[in-house]
């Protein structure tokens, strides 16, 4: 039997980062992964989708190449080549993680683990042999899987989840996306750029996003050729002579029917620990995931859980952060008391990113707020890039000018959001951003101008337009 101070079950961004930090702290650690190192994020989520997103971005640019003085006779899109590049990208990133695990002298066991008791795991390897492992502490980091809603016809061929969509070899002419969360909207945007006819069935469009962005987005999607049925729910999928028929109903009870070649079920993900035999450990689970305290301890104090299995915010960077915090608590018996600010990014066209509170949520929490906004159409760098759609919105506590939230829709929003995250997590007041010199010409000037706009002193915005930004 192998004996370790710490065993981590799951090699995704939560598990492998926790293992690296444990090794840095001198903890004798084993990392166990049954599928592929890197988990969903590296193999079936963040990395492959961003590879395809890069292809989609380039395709969109080429459509407007003539405006930039570049004349193309014609160009076509090859899904097979895009998928091949995606596989190379994934392989390169995974190999990088494999090297990190090796260089940190972490015992890596490729196999599926299940609990024998609260300290012991049995690991079935790919060769069919069993390895017994005993650990003083165990971290569960087994992630999540796509949800499967009980919609009649969802088992028909051509009805797929996000994992299967990443393996397509033929570009679908028509695709219906059931679900308008991050996963659904990212794939809708990507495949629209590739040339598919996209219809989105949306019960609530990007429900965690600020209202001004959600208000603006349907107009943008329509211009891009994406058909959106907001406030609608999928009811049934049936076969037709021409493919599949999605039937949905809207808030008025009216029936919506859309034909498609592919139906993507993108209604969310659920925590995954199905084959862990967790009942043998004594760990109590809830309806929405494994329950933990502020130190990521389950009801069994030496068993911890991090990442998507908690059923909360299912983001790779959250899992990684929790992995570090968890291991540092195991090593040092303490952790940071402050809950971190979590930036969230949505890779559609244009990108969306946000951190902190939305305006509505801030009001709900009792704040008296004021806001500042600035359109990218008035930003010199965005104009030069030909990417002027979108804006920056800053939400501030009117009592002390503390920054509560920042919401960006526009070019490179996923890169711009981190100045905002730092500002919010550091309890900065809006004056700190206003007094910071932002290089010109850069997209970050839009955040600076939106911050100035909170104080009614935006320099590149006519006073009469303050309340019209984002319309």
The catalytic residues are 440
Q: How far is residue 225 CA from its own chain's centroid?
A: 24
The rounded distance, in Å, linking the Cα atoms of 83 and 383 is 32
Q: At which residue do the structure tokens 């070899």 appear?
A: 169
Contacts of 128 (CB under 8 A, 6+ apart): none
Residue by residue, DSSP assigns 366-402 as T--EEEEEEEGGG-HHHHHHT----EEEEEEETTT-B
Residues 302, 308, 309, CA angle at the centre, nearest 5°? 45
Return the number of other C-beta atoms located less than 10 Å from residue 363's C-beta.
13
What are the φ and ψ backbone dihedral angles of 127, each rounded to 5 degrees?
-85, 0
Contacts of 309 (CB under 8 A, 6+ apart): 10, 140, 141, 142, 143, 144, 271, 272, 273, 289, 290
In the DSSP assignment, the letter for residue 339 is P
> Can you list the positions of beta strands (E) in 83-128?
107-115, 120-125
Q: Is 191 exposed, middle or buried (0-12, 13-18, 19+ CB in 10 A)?
A: buried
Return the number of other C-beta atoms located less than 10 Å from residue 124's C-beta.
15
């Amino acid at each position: 039997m192998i004996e370790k101070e710490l065993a981590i079950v799951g090699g995704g961004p939560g598990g492998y980062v926790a293992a690296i930090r444990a090794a840095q702290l001198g903890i004798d650690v084993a990392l166990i992964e049954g599928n592929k190192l890197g988990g969903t994020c590296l193999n079936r989520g963040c990395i492959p989708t961003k590879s395809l997103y890069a292809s989609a971005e380039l395709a969109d640019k080429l459509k407007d190449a003539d405006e930039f003085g570049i004349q193309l006779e014609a160009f076509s899109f090859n899904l097979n080549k895009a998928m091949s590049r995606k596989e190379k990208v994934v392989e390169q990133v995974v190999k990088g993680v494999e090297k990190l695990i090796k260089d940190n002298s972490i015992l890596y066991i490729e196999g599926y683990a299940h609990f024998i008791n609260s300290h012991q795991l049995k690991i079935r390897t790919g060769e069919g042999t069993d390895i017994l492992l005993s650990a003083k502490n165990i971290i569960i980091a087994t992630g999540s899987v796509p949800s499967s809603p009980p919609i009649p016809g969802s088992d028909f061929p051509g009805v797929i989840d996000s994992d299967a969509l990443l393996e397509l070899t033929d570009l679908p002419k028509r695709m219906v996306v059931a679900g308008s969360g991050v996963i659904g909207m990212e794939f809708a945007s990507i495949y629209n750029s590739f040339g598919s006819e996209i219809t989105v069935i949306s019960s609530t469009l990007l429900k965690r996003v600020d209202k001004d962005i959600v208000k603006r987005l349907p107009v943008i999607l329509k211009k891009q050729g994406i058909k959106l049925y907001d406030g609608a729910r999928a009811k049934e999928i049936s076969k037709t002579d021409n493919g599949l028929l999605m039937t949905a109903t809207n808030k008025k009870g009216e029936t919506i029917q859309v034909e498609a070649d592919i139906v993507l079920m993108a209604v969310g993900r659920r925590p995954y620990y199905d084959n862990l035999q967790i009942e043998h450990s004594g760990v109590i689970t809830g309806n929405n995931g494994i329950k933990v305290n502020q130190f990521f301890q389950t009801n069994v104090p030496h068993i911890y859980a991090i990442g998507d299995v908690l059923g909360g915010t299912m983001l790779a960077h959250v899992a990684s952060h929790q992995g570090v915090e968890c291991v540092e608590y195991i090593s040092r018996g303490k952790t940071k008391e402050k809950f971190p600010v979590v930036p969230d990014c949505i890779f559609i066209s244009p990108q969306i990113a946000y951190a902190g509170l939305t305006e509505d949520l801030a009001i709900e929490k009792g704040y008296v707020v004021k806001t500042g906004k600035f359109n990218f159409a008035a930003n010199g760098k965005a104009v030069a890039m030909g990417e002027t759609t979108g804006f920056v919105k800053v939400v501030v506590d009117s009592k002390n000018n503390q920054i509560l939230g920042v919401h960006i829709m526009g070019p490179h929003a996923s890169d711009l959001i981190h100045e905002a995250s730092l500002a919010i997590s550091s309890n900065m007041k809006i004056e700190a951003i206003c007094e910071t010199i932002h290089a010109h010409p850069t997209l970050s000037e839009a955040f600076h101008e939106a911050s100035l706009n909170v104080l009614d002193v935006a320099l590149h915005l006519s006073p009469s337009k303050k309340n019209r930004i984002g319309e």
